[in-house]
Amino acid sequence: MTQPISEQRQCRLELARKAFKDFYVQCFWSWQENPEITEDTIPLIVRALRIHGGAKGYELAAELCR
C-alpha cells in the first residue's frame, strides 16, 4: 500500500534534514548551519550529496529522488 502524498513529502523532508545534518561538514560546510529545508532545497541537497558525499551520499541522494 502506498503512503499518501503529504506523508511521502514529510518523510522526504525528514530524510533531507537528516542528510544535511549527517553530511554537513563533508557537503554543506559553505551553507548556513541551520537552513530551512523545503521541497525547493532538496535538489540542491541531492546535488551536493552526489558531488561531495561519496558512495553513501550518492545512495542517499538516490533515495531522496524516489
Domain residue extents for the chain: 5-65
Task: Name the band, by pLDDT with cuts 50, 70 and 90, for residue 4.
Answer: confident
Percent of the chain topping pLDDT 90: 88
HSE (CB half, 13 Å, CA atoms) of 9? Answer: 8
Asked whether the beta carbons of 26 and 48 are under 8 A apart, the reply is no
Please determine, for residue 44, whether its predicted confidence score (pLDDT) is greater than 90: yes
Report how far apart the first and last C-alpha atoms of the chain are (Å, whole number): 16
Identify the residue whose cell numbers are 502524498: 5
Mean pLDDT across 12-26: 97
Q: Is the entire prediction scored with pTM above 0.75?
A: yes
Mean pLDDT over all residues of the chain? 93
Given a contact cutoff of 8 angstroms between Cβ atoms, the answer to whether 37 and 20 are in contact is: yes
Determine the residue type at 49: L
pLDDT beyond 80 at 34: yes
